[in-house]
Structure 1
Amino acid sequence: MRVTATVTALQQLAASVRSGFDIPVIGITGSNGKTIVKEWLYQLLKDRFSIVRSPGSYNSQIGVPLSVWKMNDQHTLGIFEAGISEPGEMESLERIIRPTVGIFTNIGEAHNQGFLNSRQKINEKLQLFRHAEVLIYCKDYYELNEAIQLFSQTVRKSSDKPLQLISWSQKTEAALQILSIRKEQGRTEIEGLFQDRKVSVQIPFVDAASVENAINCWCYMLYAAIPDEEIADGMALLKPIAMRLEIRQGDNNTIVINDAYNSDLTSLQIALDTLQQQNMTAQTVILSDMLQTGRAEVALYSELSEILQKRGIRRFIGIGNALTHYSHLFDANKDLQKYFFRDTADFLRHFKDFVFENEAVLLKGSRSFAFEKISLLLEQRIHQTVMTVNLSAMVQNLQVFRRRLKPGTRTMVMVKASSYGSGGHEVARVLEQSGVDYLTVAYADEGVALRKAGIELPIMVMSPSIDAFDRMILWRLEPELFNMRSLTHFVAVAENIGVKDYPVHIKLDTGMHRLGFMESDLDELTAYLDKCSCLRIASVFSHLAAADDQAHRAFTQQQAGLFQRMCGKLSDALGYRPLMHLCNTAGIVQYPEYHFDMVRLGLGLYGIDSSGSLNNQLRQISALKTVIAQIKEVDAGETIGYSRKGKVDRHKRIATICIGYADGYPRALSRGNAYVMISNKPAPLIGIIAMDMCMVDITDIDQVQEGDEVIIFGDALPIQQLADWAGTIPYEIMTGISQRVKRVYINETQ
């Protein structure tokens, strides 16, 4: 049967599957924590129920129906998460999930794009619970509590069964009133009052997000009348959830893809896609037994063998009793190097027998196999300071700008300076997969590195050296030509090599006065171009000097007028019309009338909008984190750091953290107004920032320990704030992060 709307058909089929089962179903939504709450509920309830749940973070318009489709007659409980990006989407997901119990984890700034405000976002998410019997949520989110109260009194008022609200709060009366939260030695003890009796649990985490997620799970366990002792035992054994696939640099020129979260064929296919996008000639898959799939093992591992063969995987390391027992099922694949071990410890004993170099390695295993031990051996140990780059957030930012373009307008994306410090080929590869039209680098060497990494998109080089023109032609890089000197040199090289119609880009100076042909140069330029058969003008462009400042709007309009006039003269002389592009990130937002044929997206892709118009829609894609090396008690009258600049006026606790100006943390922040975030609280810098270390005041932050995470910038501390403190711009902060800082690439499944 052929359908016209494939997603709609998939959703209708999944809704039909769901209608055939009369079992409890938990539906989870919220800004953050959905997957963790789902997975922790699974850990807590798997001995009582046969559970079907969303794989990974399958919470989208496609992910939800694929999740619900897994329901079968053996299941006695369903746990599904639902996420939306714009109004109207939750109604479709509600028809598929039909939860009997709902959990609204929290409300925050995540995924605000597509909604007028947070209230609209809450109301849209609440549509998931139109037919639920119970809703669990935290009463301390004021706007969320207000919206839920109104929802239960209006939308659900006419229902046969009124919605039962089970709230929890640290501040006021609630179904579960939190009396105390005590953190000690990596664990948190939580005491509460539920139905006039005191209850308590202990969890092996201390961060605020884990505490919140655990309490949401606790509320469900209490509602379900699970015995207190069983709840306490389960909560004490909660395991961390590796939420996202991570791409890390390994030793010996390897790329390590760490998806050691769960193991099933659906998520394996997604991970294999990422593995094969790395453009490495050799690929190794390290996989554990696939637990609790509900399938016969012979069929499961036979299909796995076929998948590896179709994907062309050359080396496979299977870990677990089941894989070892069924190792013969992989014999049909004669090209596969295969090795099997009973458990992770057995493999680690033989680790030295394997050589991992010049390849991509996928780690995919169930949590019980502790694949993090393998990851530690494979990953490159550079520094305790790490910058994470969220590639999924970057794609979301790209879509924010694409929605502002007219159909047919092309997109050129800046990936110069290693994608503003975020990583060259890693970012470029995702952009290529996302369908951008052009990439732009500053120098030829950057473009060559992208070509060597397998990037096939057209690449413009903005500051080409005349000595690199022959190399650029060899690597299919397209130069920006900005004066007669660069033009004549390139023509000489092109004619010597013998190329015809080679694409180049002509830069016009319309007021920036940095690089480019002036209007007075056009006659000489067109006369010269008329004699050149080796070139084809792919585009003509200029750069707006002040698109982000409305005080200079008249000047920007003057630039645009001059640009159009100069482009007209060039096109008339050439006999054809090259692509025209003028707008940078700020111009895309502020001047839609000047989008022309193509726009150039730069800083906005990375989550920063200098115009200030889109900051509530963009996600900062990078986070810089380090750790505490040492904590000291320092008495009043002592000083901290070089030149004794850090004065201690009272007894203080001082933490030394593993970052300094050699990592790109500006020494200018030593002026006394900057801070880092530790345990979600600001820790002010004290003293002078050194090359590799700096010190912060943690006197007023409880339960801080050596080894704790420190956020330099990220969601809780925007990079714009650091730039303001340092008296500079976000570009300088981003591009200044040292290469000794390890980059970790995150790819979420939203």
Structure 2
Amino acid sequence: MMQAINFLQFASKFAKNFTTGSDDYILLDVVIDSRKIQSGSKTLFVALNGSRYSGWEFAEDAYSKGVRNFILPEDCPDPILKSLEQANILLSPSPLRELQELAQLNRDNFAGPVIGITGSNGKTIVKEWLAQVLSSKYDVWKSPKSYNSQIGVALSSLGISQQHQVAVLEAGISAPNEMNALAQIIQPQLGIFTNIGSAHDEYFLDSTAKIREKCLLFKNVKYLIYRKDQSLLSQYLEKNFDPSVLVSWSDEPGGDYVLSIKPHNNGSKIFLIGNDFQTHTFITPFKDQASLENVRHVITAALSLGMKPDVIQQGLGLLLAVDMRLTLKSGINGSKLIDDSYNNDLAGLEIALEFMSQQITTTGRKILILSEMQQVGNEKAVFQKIAWLLEHYEIDLFIGVGKGYLGFQSLFTPESIFYDSTEVLLKSLDILSLSNDLILIKGARAFQFENIVQKLEALAHETILEINLNALRHNFIHYRQKLKPGTKMMVMVKAFAYGGGAAEIGNYLQEIGADYLSVAYTDEGVFLRNNGITLPIMVMNPGSYHLDLLLDKALEPVVYNLDQLKSLADGLKDITGMLSVHLELDTGMRRLGMSENDLDEAIKILQQAENLKISGIFTHLAGADEAVHESFSLQQLASFERSSSKIIQETGCQPIRHCLNSAGIIRYPKYSFDMVRLGIGLYGIEVNQLEQDKLQPAMTLKTVVSQVKKLKKGETIGYGRKGEMANEGEVATLAIGYADGYDRRFSNGKAKVLIKGQMAPIIGNVCMDMCMVDVTGLQVTEGDVAILFGNKPSIIELAANIGTIPYELLTGIGPRVKRQYILD
């Protein structure tokens, strides 16, 4: 809940675009999603346009929930405005800009210090760790999750309230001219520049230009923390900032703080020498370079804020490696777990519950296990908000952990269960009788909820296909930006969504703005309908038409020959209801589809078929992924234009026309017609190889090391003794084989895996359930994680190594490989 803002005063400068209708103009909350309205009378609704909707479409819903203050776009229709007659309405050419101004106003009203963090990597981790260390002394507000965008920073700033003493906000940019707006909102007194890397390089002239843009955040800071060992970054800062502002740290003498590292037990010891030559020692459980860099940013920032070293060490002792992503895992007895066990705050809880609402459970319960929130302030208001969220997101069973719930149990439903501690809950898990339930686990670090996750996680094959929903969204947006406004996006989710999980990915696509989904067979479409998908679904090869099923599930079959069309038209004569279909035209693929010679007869049938609606007309391009076939592709497109126009003119139908697949969107965007069909590109594979660097791999296949063996020169490995040690060394056995979809053709060095940051080749033949890699010199131990494909090695390279295509490798991943879904 933000600090109180007078909407009439805020909107007074827009007098000619502002109308009043309510005396309720004191704001305590701002929402951009009408589903999140709690107390409408104190809420401002800001209508931002989405991928498929105009924000004003939800204004009436907000009004029905008591909202009487609105910022709407100038093109809001008059009927909508008239329905909000008793509201205060500001019409704006840019509601986002007004949202950012409100965020700046809330920031201006905050008296405590604000810490602003930017950089290429580590922003979110530094923010989380620093907030945790500071929370031992201060009441801290921090950006939820990775809320660092133009909208995210505004919403983060609007979360600062009077009770907070320190705010920690992160800012992320991906292109020039984005930081100024964020800097005006955050206005940090203390800044942290984590590092500079290659992310978003393609949008900047060079790295110096990117540093310059990011540094706009720090133009008025009192202190700016950075690592002096980052030479390009330190050179720029030392040239462009007053020396009195800069606070540097380094591994070596030369920085304001020297923070050197020594191994210590299972972690590291950090020796600090300050510019006053005072020394301190810190202990941390981390050994990897990225975490140690992040920890030293945290130490330097905490010291700059006046915290004593012993207090900082207490905070460091609670830190664990942070996975800021929400992870959907397989649990015991068919349940699914959403693991958000690192920390707990209201903003993060709402994000996690929204992610939970996107998952479908047809038979089980929605269960929330939540620790108390370790924060000062109005405790009752916090628990009231939790209770409201439980009702709003329709949680079937709430389990509260911590003594803080003791005085507030009456706020929750009688079915709720409360435990004093995590230990007591762990002993009582059996009484929950979990079966096909969806369970969100979220707790403050001190409650060690990772122990609950471990107890409830299904014991299974330790090979995981990780599906990064953030990467899916990035790729989806990349392709959408290639198209003219208004072009629809159909996404292919056939073949178990290319191995990734049709229901989970389908629901996410529905959330982020896909217009259509497409499957290969009718049963795939039925499965999606049974799992909460409401988008239109095209069935490419429906086989025998089950008209009742198609109509009942609102599935849209493809019709690709005259016999089908006749059969379908005849079958619909005795059935009530209109069936939507897509006509497939064969313009050169020579697989399925009607030829130009079929059109006259097809049109006669369509003119007489009263219960048949032509929702779409489409074709497949045979060679869109290769420039050598460009003339043929253009012939296909011309044939499609000619044939589809004839059908439209002679039948009077108004179909959606679509012919471009992922490759076609890149090569022929001006031929997008009404809709395109996105397939393999969604998963980060650009088959043209023209824009591969602009996509993100959405799937990572990983496994664990089962055993490591020391072998002598000349010893052989695996079936047929095909592997042989060229020298004395070590071989690691991995828990994956061809039964999991790891192709046997990867045997004997045809593939490498990433392990301990190094590439290790397959040695010997890939077995059914295992394979072996040469890890000589890598200091690999049992339990280490190995990446089979992801960022590195890429699935494109692996496919090329064995003469196949990425489609085959993705769709071949076996069912015993656990799927995990990740969302930042």
Q: Under a length normalisation based on structure 1, what TM-score does the superposition of the two structures give?
A: 0.91
> Over the residues paired in the alignment, what is the CA RMSD in angstroms?
2.7
Asked if 1:639 corresponds to 2:725, the answer is: no
CA deviation digits over 1:358-390, x for unaligned, max 9?
Answer: 432222221222222222333333310111111
- For 2:621, the equivalent position in structure 1 comes to 544
Asked if 1:126 corresponds to 2:185, the answer is: no
CA deviation digits over 1:675-723, x for unaligned, max 9?
Answer: 1111221122111111111111221224x32111111112233221222
Compared CA separation, residues 460 and 112, structure 1 to 2 (3 A): farther
Asked if 1:321 corresponds to 2:414, the answer is: no
Alpha-carbon separation, structure 1, partners of 2:742 and 2:265: 30
Alpha-carbon separation, structure 2, partners of 1:679 and 1:345: 34
Q: Mean alpha-carbon deviation: is it higher for 469-478 or for 587-596?
A: 469-478
Compared CA separation, residues 495 and 105, structure 1 to 2 (3 A): farther
- For 2:380, the equivalent position in structure 1 comes to 298
Asked if 1:368 corresponds to 2:425, the answer is: no
Alpha-carbon separation, structure 1, partners of 2:753 and 2:273: 35
- For 1:45, the equivalent position in structure 2 comes to 134
Alpha-carbon separation, structure 2, partners of 1:445 and 1:109: 44
Indicate the SS of the match to 1:464: coil
Q: Do the aligned residues in 2 keep the contact of 1:203 with 1:237 (CA within 8 Å)?
A: no
Match for residue 186 of structure 2 among 94, 97, 105: 97
- For 2:658, the equivalent position in structure 1 comes to 581
Compared CA separation, residues 470 and 585, structure 1 to 2 (3 A): same
Q: Do the aligned residues in 2 keep the contact of 1:258 with 1:375 (CA within 8 Å)?
A: yes
Q: Give the alignment of 1:16-55 within 5 angstroms.
A: 16-21=105-110, 23-55=112-144
Asked if 1:210 corresponds to 2:299, the answer is: no
Asked if 1:697 corresponds to 2:774, the answer is: yes
- For 2:321, the equivalent position in structure 1 comes to 240
Alpha-carbon separation, structure 2, partners of 1:499 and 1:507: 25
Alpha-carbon separation, structure 1, partners of 2:423 and 2:810: 40
Alpha-carbon separation, structure 1, partners of 2:279 and 2:747: 48
Instruction: Give how far 1:51 is off.
Output: 2.8
Compared CA separation, residues 329 and 11, structure 1 to 2 (3 A): same
Compared CA separation, residues 91 and 679, structure 1 to 2 (3 A): same
Match for residue 308 of structure 1 among 386, 390, 393: 390
Instruction: Give how far 1:150 is off.
Output: 3.2
Amino acid of the structure 1 residue aligned with 2:409: S
Compared CA separation, residues 123 and 511, structure 1 to 2 (3 A): farther
- For 1:11, the equivalent position in structure 2 comes to 100
Alpha-carbon separation, structure 2, partners of 1:148 and 1:601: 43
Q: Mean alpha-carbon deviation: is it higher for 265-274 or for 506-515?
A: 265-274
Alpha-carbon separation, structure 1, partners of 2:366 and 2:633: 53
Alpha-carbon separation, structure 1, partners of 2:441 and 2:404: 17
Instruction: Give how far 1:131 is off.
Output: 1.7
Indicate the SS of the match to 2:593: coil
Compared CA separation, residues 503 and 24, structure 1 to 2 (3 A): same
Asked if 1:408 corresponds to 2:408, the answer is: no
Alpha-carbon separation, structure 1, partners of 2:381 and 2:317: 36
CA deviation digits over 1:287-333, x for unaligned, max 9?
Answer: 33432333322332233223323443332111111113421232xx4
Amino acid of the structure 1 residue aligned with 2:455: L
Q: Give the alignment of 1:665-744 within 5 angstroms.
A: 665-702=742-779, 704-744=780-820
Amino acid of the structure 1 residue aligned with 2:292: V
Q: Do the aligned residues in 1 keep the contact of 2:662 with 2:680 (CA within 8 Å)?
A: yes
Q: Give the alignment of 1:354-393 within 5 angstroms.
A: 354-393=432-471
Compared CA separation, residues 137 and 685, structure 1 to 2 (3 A): farther
- For 1:153, the equivalent position in structure 2 comes to 239
Indicate the SS of the match to 1:439: strand
Instruction: Give how far 1:622 is off.
Output: 1.2
Alpha-carbon separation, structure 2, partners of 1:430 and 1:24: 38
Instruction: Give how far 1:412 is off.
Output: 0.8
Q: Mean alpha-carbon deviation: is it higher for 185-194 or for 307-316?
A: 185-194
Instruction: Give how far 1:458 is off.
Output: 0.7
Indicate the SS of the match to 2:573: helix
Instruction: Give how far 1:243 is off.
Output: 0.8
- For 2:51, the equivalent position in structure 1 comes to none
Work out the percentage of aligned pairs sharing the same amino acid: 41
Amino acid of the structure 2 residue aligned with 1:725: N
- For 1:427, the equivalent position in structure 2 comes to 505
Amino acid of the structure 2 residue aligned with 1:131: N
CA deviation digits over 1:206-255, x for unaligned, max 9?
Answer: 33332332232244356567666665565454223231111223334433
Alpha-carbon separation, structure 1, partners of 2:794 and 2:283: 33
Question: Which aligned runs of 4 or more in structure 1 are off by greater than 6 angstroms?
Answer: 196-199
Indicate the SS of the match to 2:327: strand
CA deviation digits over 1:247-273, x for unaligned, max 9?
Answer: 223334433222223222222222222
Alpha-carbon separation, structure 1, partners of 2:805 and 2:225: 43
Alpha-carbon separation, structure 2, partners of 1:652 and 1:194: 44
If asked which structure has higher relative contact order (CA below 8 Å, sep 6+), I would say 1
Q: Do the aligned residues in 2 keep the contact of 1:320 with 1:341 (CA within 8 Å)?
A: yes
Q: Mean alpha-carbon deviation: is it higher for 578-587 or for 461-470?
A: 461-470
Alpha-carbon separation, structure 1, partners of 2:673 and 2:423: 60
Q: Do the aligned residues in 1 keep the contact of 2:614 with 2:653 (CA within 8 Å)?
A: no
Instruction: Give how far 1:167 is off.
Output: 4.6
Alpha-carbon separation, structure 2, partners of 1:284 and 1:51: 30
Indicate the SS of the match to 2:819: strand
Instruction: Give how far 1:109 is off.
Output: 4.7
Q: Mean alpha-carbon deviation: is it higher for 285-294 or for 639-648?
A: 285-294
Alpha-carbon separation, structure 2, partners of 1:454 and 1:151: 52
- For 1:648, the equivalent position in structure 2 comes to 725
Q: Under a length normalisation based on structure 2, what TM-score does the superposition of the two structures give?
A: 0.83
Q: Do the aligned residues in 1 keep the contact of 2:466 with 2:822 (CA within 8 Å)?
A: yes
Q: Give the alignment of 1:215-230 within 5 angstroms.
A: 215-221=296-302, 223=304
Match for residue 368 of structure 2 among 269, 286, 292: 286
Asked if 1:504 corresponds to 2:555, the answer is: no
- For 1:164, the equivalent position in structure 2 comes to 246
Amino acid of the structure 2 residue aligned with 1:260: S
Instruction: Give how far 1:139 is off.
Output: 4.9
Alpha-carbon separation, structure 2, partners of 1:522 and 1:248: 50
Amino acid of the structure 1 residue aligned with 2:511: Q
Compared CA separation, residues 174 and 666, structure 1 to 2 (3 A): farther
Q: Do the aligned residues in 2 keep the contact of 1:291 with 1:366 (CA within 8 Å)?
A: yes
Amino acid of the structure 2 residue aligned with 1:244: R
Unaligned runs of 5+ in 2: 1-6, 8-88
Instruction: Give how far 1:474 is off.
Output: 3.1
Instruction: Give how far 1:534 is off.
Output: 2.5
Compared CA separation, residues 299 and 180, structure 1 to 2 (3 A): closer
Q: Do the aligned residues in 1 keep the contact of 2:582 with 2:614 (CA within 8 Å)?
A: yes
Q: Do the aligned residues in 1 keep the contact of 2:619 with 2:659 (CA within 8 Å)?
A: yes
Alpha-carbon separation, structure 2, partners of 1:562 and 1:400: 28
Q: Do the aligned residues in 1 keep the contact of 2:196 with 2:233 (CA within 8 Å)?
A: no
Compared CA separation, residues 437 and 730, structure 1 to 2 (3 A): same
In the alignment of these two chains, the number of paired residues is: 733
CA deviation digits over 1:336-356, x for unaligned, max 9?
Answer: 521111111111211111122
Indicate the SS of the match to 2:470: helix
Instruction: Give how far 1:505 is off.
Output: 0.7
Asked if 1:250 corresponds to 2:331, the answer is: yes
Q: Give the alignment of 1:494-643 within 5 angstroms.
A: 494-496=572-574, 498-643=575-720
Q: Do the aligned residues in 1 keep the contact of 2:368 with 2:395 (CA within 8 Å)?
A: no
CA deviation digits over 1:74-118, x for unaligned, max 9?
Answer: 544332211224332221111122222222223345456765665
Indicate the SS of the match to 2:485: coil
CA deviation digits over 1:451-475, x for unaligned, max 9?
Answer: 0001111100112212555533332
